[in-house]
Chains A and B, each alone.
Chain A
Amino acid sequence: MKIMPCPLNGPRNISEFVCGGDVKEMPNPESCSDLEWANYVFIHKNPAGVVDEWWCHTPTAYWFVARRNTVTEEILETFTAQQYFGASQGEPA
């Protein structure tokens, strides 16, 4: 069983988590075009390599960011949302 180091709950079996998809910036739905919104909803980078994703520990409904390698299946680092985005802008720290 793969172990996910959860920033809140510590190391847990990965079956307790769900993957919420790539961390990506949401365009402003008021001002963006339909195409920009469609791309935001459907397009995935789907890289063979390092990716930053949202993950949720389902029993505690806790969301955080995990950086993992999609080829070697290593989990490289996990972040609380605050660590990842920094306190201010919503930009990656």
Chain B
Amino acid sequence: MPFTLIKNGLKNNASDIVDFPRQPDLKSSYDVIIVGAGGHGCAAAYYLARDWGIKNVCVIDKGYLGGGNTARNTAIIRSNYLTAEGVAFYKESMDLFKELDRELDINLMYSERGHLTLAHNDASIRTSRWRAEVNKQLGVDSELLYTDDVARVCPQLNVSQDVRYPILGALYHPPGAIARHDAVAWGYARDAIRMGAEVHQKTPVTDVIVEGGRVKGIQTDKGPVYADKVLQAVAGSSSLLAGMAGLELPIRTIPLQACVSQPYKPILDTIIVSGSLHIYVSQSSRGEFVMGGSTDPYPLYSTRSTLDFKEGLMSHMLELFPFLSEARIMRQWAGMADMSPDFSPIMGLTPIENYYIDAGWGTWGFKATPVSGKRMAECVATNKQPALLEPFRLSRFDNFTLTAEKGAASVGH
């Protein structure tokens, strides 16, 4: 819990704290340029300064701070993945998340709700047991529940067997959480700026300058900016930026949509996900039901919403929560997800010297914001692939050593 709030609340005339001071003009060169001021880019700037003393850093964004997928996700945080590599990685992220509001002194509203991944058929029960066993081996709290226990954990669920897709069981992950996604990007950016980094918004990167196989800087609408090292963290635009640097990626950009209902009194504590029904839902601390589904059926660089998405989502939602039948949708939106073939990120070194990539975050990258920032900072500072990121290297596609992360495959979140 951030104590500044209490301290200033008790003072008579607390002084104004400027979180985001006006940024100086863009310089002609930096030690490191980070393209993308989403959670990942800002976190990398923070850990570069905190862990490696690299402070002459510029985070640059064509839009506004945290306005990409960071502002659009359904904010689910969990570590109950299927592969050992995946679990180890997301577990480190959750451990960092738990300390983060104190460290950044900002209220992230990190709220542990418990997370149920429903199983509606034998195959899902089998995968749930498999995941639970992998998770337990690696110290992650996770277990398979059958219908009675599911009803005990979440009495609001319709567990009737007399529906189209009855609930047979669920993978239960008690530490599953949600958090205030904007604050994650703001907190990291604010503290990175305090330590010396700059964040330049509304500055599109239009080209990447590469000479003799080594990156030299970037081109912007305000002219060229040079740097010893460049990190790209642009989610849905990953292929476009990599293309400017001369790289081709195994990524497709596919919209992921979400929506929220009007606010209601708190009734649903647990986060509910169903892979077979392609839905996930939680009730935010404002009382809105936050709902999402699977990605759109085809690639698109667009954040439009569709009626098809909502019709599909609601038909299943009403089967699980009939009491929501009168609830109204209040807002809808979409983000552009950078989908990789093995539902795992693409992180680390690239064939271009001193050019680093943090991409392939698709529908699952919010929960990884702290660990990605921390480990990408290590990668940039040392110019070496950190051991934790080894399974996620870009070159895995050259020799068919993909990760098979089915724990993320079922639905987008």
Take A42-B341, A43-B249, A48-B240 as given contacts and tell me if A18 and B397 are in contact as well, using a CB distance cutoff of 8 Å.
no
Greatest chain A CB density within 10 A among B299, B300, B400 is at B299
The CA-CA distance from A1 to B397 in the complex, in Å, is 36
Judging by beta carbons under 8 Å apart, are B397 and A38 in contact? yes
What total count of A-B pairs have CB within 8 Å? 58
Q: How far is the CB of A37 from chain B (nearest CB, A)?
A: 9
Q: How many residues of B contact A (CB 8 A)?
A: 22
Cβ-based interface call for A15 (8 A):
yes
Least CB distance, B252 to chain A, in whole angstroms: 5
Number of interface residues of A (CB under 8 A): 22
Q: Give, as a whole number of angstroms, the nearest-CB distance from B315 to chain A.
A: 14
A43 touches B308 (CB 8 A): no
Given the known interface contacts A19-B298, A71-B302, the answer about A46 and B397 at a Cβ–Cβ threshold of 8 Å is: no
Given A19-B298, A43-B248, residue A38 in contact with residue B398 (CB < 8 A) = yes
Known: A18-B297, A38-B398, A70-B301. A46 touches B341 (CB 8 A): no
User: Are A46 and B239 in touch, CB under 8 angstroms?
Assistant: yes
In the complex, the answer to whether B253 meets A46 with C-beta atoms within 8 Å is yes
> Which of A14, A46, A73: most chain B CB closer than 10 A?
A46
Contact A35 B398 (CB under 8 A): yes
One digit per residue, 1 when the CB lies within 8 angstroms of any chain B CB and 0 when it does not, for chain A 20-61 equals 000000000000001100110011111110010100000000
A18 to B252, CA, bound (A): 15
Closest CB of chain A to B400's CB: distance in Å?
A: 6
Partner of B251, one of A15, A34, A46: A46
A15-B308, A38-B398, A42-B341 known; A70-B299 Cβ under 8 A: yes
B13 lies within 8 A of chain A by Cβ: no
Name which residue of chain A comes closest to B251, CB basis: A46
Q: List 10 A-B contacts (CB under 8 A).
A: A43-B249, A43-B397, A44-B249, A44-B250, A46-B249, A48-B253, A51-B299, A70-B302, A71-B300, A73-B302
Given contacts A34-B398, A43-B248, A70-B253, 16 further A-B contacts (CB under 8 A): A1-B308, A38-B397, A38-B399, A42-B397, A43-B249, A43-B397, A44-B239, A44-B248, A44-B249, A45-B239, A45-B248, A51-B299, A70-B299, A70-B301, A70-B302, A72-B302
Residues on A lying within 8 angstroms of B by beta carbon are 1, 14-15, 18-19, 34-35, 38-39, 42-48, 51, 53, 70-73
Residues on B facing A (Cβ under 8 Å): 239-240, 248-253, 297-302, 304, 307-308, 341, 397-400
